[in-house]
Chain A
């Protein structure tokens, strides 16, 4: 009895399993595909608008396909907002912040892991506390410090104050601690000094972590808004993200959304490109920096 009962059951299970799995896979693909499309739509729509003429943009119904005004819109946006200068500023800030933060946090993590020195705990806690002091909690006074230094409206002011990094330091500290002690001992036996050890052994080993941090920090530096808004006061020093606000048509202005969208496309392209190109490191960075 048991046998006869279990047989069809087993058979049914065997035959329904693949079908259920097919169904599962089908829903999964459908949902993910829908998510991808819905997520991409605003970007696609913004791109489409950036290729249309003013009259195409402002007549209803909306036309969701590209048109021919692409060159004139991008040229107009480029000229009107000094886009070239702003993109260069953004690149300087993003690269400066990313490289500076990586260098500074790598060096301090090296000191913390590979040396014994007085005040080490204090240094460690100081770095830790910066986590609790993001720019918004010290708006006016940080500006005052920067202006005392005479760094308002300079690249120094835009980059250096953002270079301290608790997350970077912790990331490298964590990583260095997983490196076997024997490596440093061997280096010492070979007569290599600490800086040589850092340069020839630790640095090559840290490449993956540096790449991961780089993606996150580049995106952060490029997209930062509050800091450049406070520190710069001329159009020549504005970064792209804060500069394009001037192109957004307000109520009383000609609704040139096509130009605004062309500018938006140019500003968002570099950080998105970095993420897409360095995908693998980006995912690693996302996980590591939030631990």
Chain B
């Protein structure tokens, strides 16, 4: 720990001032206001608020549409995270060799990180386009099945998952490659001498040694797919068809801004807040115990 070296009474307050003011005004005030609003509902003319206690929350947990959204959100996030990470890990393990040009590959893998989820979605929207897209066209040679995100919730969901995985993939792969390259080959060689096959070696040695990377990528991809994919849904499917792709954040925004159900939307914000706090707590507990950077 550093000793404080500059004796000054007011300067430190001036220095933290901007941060503290922004934090109070744009983080704490709205957060408390969300808590407060979640106990109210707007009057029919929208001119005043009526206290309703926990009614909004009761309604939330009885609302089939909301529960469907929760399921949609979780399945979307898990699909993006698990499929994305599994694929990246598989390819990284197969490609793990001391070769030249790794830095070049890394550059060629990382750029999609810069593409906004909404833009990634619009590109894939066209790739998946039922009439003009290259993917349905290619599929038509293999199967008579018609992939149509206009009508099928599953197809729309798949489109979003593919777009999200695409955006994250290069970066997952780059991190796994770096993690694998950092593992001492002597450990693996020793296991090999002891007669462990490649699959056994992978699960007994490589995978546990990679746990910090996996943990890091897991939290990052979960947060990304849960919270940062609002733009993807808004620009690409608008939650549809029906409400097949209405993830929680999208519903909270829609109920608040389009439906003008302020209390109901605030209650959804409070539930999301609880989720983030849970995720952060999990991250810190887990990070302290198991993961060393």
With A107-B18, A114-B6, A164-B26 as known contacts, state yes or no: A138 contacts B269, CB within 8 Å: yes
A68: CB under 8 A from chain B?
no
> Is the pair A222, B116 in contact by a Cβ cutoff of 8 Å?
yes
Partner among B24, B107, B117, B170 whose Cβ is within 8 Å of the Cβ of A225:
B117
Q: How large is the interface on A (under 10, 10 to 19, 20 to 34, 35 or more residues)?
A: 35 or more
B110: CB under 8 A from chain A?
yes
* Interface of chain B residues 6 through 50 with chain A (CB within 8 A): 6, 8-9, 11-13, 15-16, 18-20, 22-31, 33-34, 37
Binds B, one of A1-9, A76-84, A128-136, A204-212: A128-136
Q: How large is the interface on B (under 10, 10 to 19, 20 to 34, 35 or more residues)?
A: 35 or more
With A160-B22, A248-B125 as known contacts, state yes or no: A255 contacts B276, CB within 8 Å: no
Partner among B12, B132, B280 whose Cβ is within 8 Å of the Cβ of A257:
B132
> Is the pair A194, B8 in contact by a Cβ cutoff of 8 Å?
yes
Q: Bound complex: CA of A99 vs CA of B123, how far in Å?
A: 30
The residues of A that contact B13 with a CB separation of less than 8 Å are 111, 117
> Is the pair A131, B118 in contact by a Cβ cutoff of 8 Å?
no
With A60-B132, A132-B277, A145-B30 as known contacts, state yes or no: A177 contacts B16, CB within 8 Å: no
A261: CB under 8 A from chain B?
yes
> Is the pair B272, A108 in contact by a Cβ cutoff of 8 Å?
no
Q: Bound complex: CA of A127 vs CA of B27, how far in Å?
A: 10
Enumerate 5 A-B pairs (CB-CB under 8 Å) in ascending A order.
A45-B126, A108-B18, A112-B16, A127-B23, A279-B110
Given contacts A108-B20, A176-B2, A290-B219, 6 further A-B pairs with CB under 8 A are A25-B98, A31-B94, A39-B109, A115-B11, A138-B33, A169-B19
> Interface of B with A (CB < 8 Å)?
1-6, 8-9, 11-13, 15-16, 18-20, 22-31, 33-34, 37, 91, 94-99, 101, 105-119, 122-127, 129, 131-134, 137, 150, 166, 169-171, 173, 216, 219-220, 227, 230-231, 234-235, 249, 252-253, 256-257, 262, 265-266, 269-270, 272-273, 276-277, 280, 293
